[in-house]
Structure 1
Amino acid sequence: MATTETPACPSSEDEAQAFDVFAKACPSRATLEHITGRWGSLTLGALSECTLRFNELRRRVDGVSEKMLSQTLHALERDGLVHRQAAATNPPRVDYCLTPLGRAVVERLLSLIDLVEDRMPEVLAAREAYDTRGGR
């Protein structure tokens, strides 16, 4: 009869290497998708500026539907990146802000956003050259 052993708990050093976003079953893959998806990155970027209510976020993230923003906020809250604060007022007030983990993620995300915005002339030139030569 085979016995199964319970694996030892990884040390904090091992734990940092326990996740591999390139592995299909790794839970970090879903979190990365929530962060880097179109609405996730824009929502996190908007919340880096200040605490916002739902409709303020919707106006700031131009083009997002109410449904998509709601789904995005739920995913980011579940991942521990966004904090939802509901006040029992009339009418009810719900504010969204970044958690400490969310701020750490956004710091890196904003660097990427800045890089993309700064280098857009190169991107646009590359697109034009690609299109001119007929793509593939």
Structure 2
Amino acid sequence: MPAERDLLLRDVMDRIGDKWSVTVICRLDDGPLRFNALKRAVDGITQRMLSATVRRLERDGLLTRTVHPSVPPRVEYALTDRGRSLHRVLAELVAWTEDNLDDIQQCRKRFDAGEYGAHA
């Protein structure tokens, strides 16, 4: 049983650490978006990758897909409560990254220059 749980944990961490998943979750924090609006909001994502990403996020209960009866059908994606709670964690991670970005960049420069023990 613990091995199955470990596999699931790694799978979920892979999902929430995936750059497209993170970006989609962040873009949906302002409210529901239709597929094409979401695609425009996620710079560089292909239609195929966006389809796969929203499908996986829906499967994990992080977003909902709502089909509105119209011609053509209107499909909207929105974060669930679980997705919004994950967004709060991601926002903290982004804030930490922004706070440490300059220092990390300096550490990388020193490391790349051969100064291996020179960490801030």
Q: 1:96 aligns to what SS in structure 2?
A: strand
Percent identical among aligned pairs is 34
Give the distance between the partners of 1:123 and 1:21, measured in 2 at CA. Answer: 36
TM-score of the superposition, structure 2-length normalised?
0.84
Give the distance between the partners of 1:125 and 1:132, measured in 2 at CA. Answer: 11
* Paired residues of 1:77 and 1:83 also in contact (CA < 8 A): yes
Greater shift after overlay, 118-127 or 72-81?
A: 118-127
Unaligned runs of 5+ in 2: none
Give the distance between the partners of 1:58 and 1:68, measured in 2 at CA. Answer: 10
* Paired residues of 1:19 and 1:28 also in contact (CA < 8 A): no
Number of matched pairs: 116
Give the distance between the partners of 1:22 and 1:94, measured in 2 at CA. Answer: 34
Which residue identity does 1:40 align to in structure 2? S
Give the distance between the partners of 2:109 and 2:32, measured in 1 at CA. Answer: 39
Q: Cα RMSD between the aligned structures? A: 2.2
Which residue identity does 1:92 align to in structure 2? P
1:100 aligns with one of 72, 75, 81: 81
> Higher Cα Rg: structure 1 or 2?
1
TM-score of the superposition, structure 1-length normalised?
0.75
**Per-residue Cα deviation, 1:19-65 (whole angstroms, up to 9, x for no partner):** 78983xx3232122111111111111111122111111112111111
Residue in 2 aligned with 1:124? 105
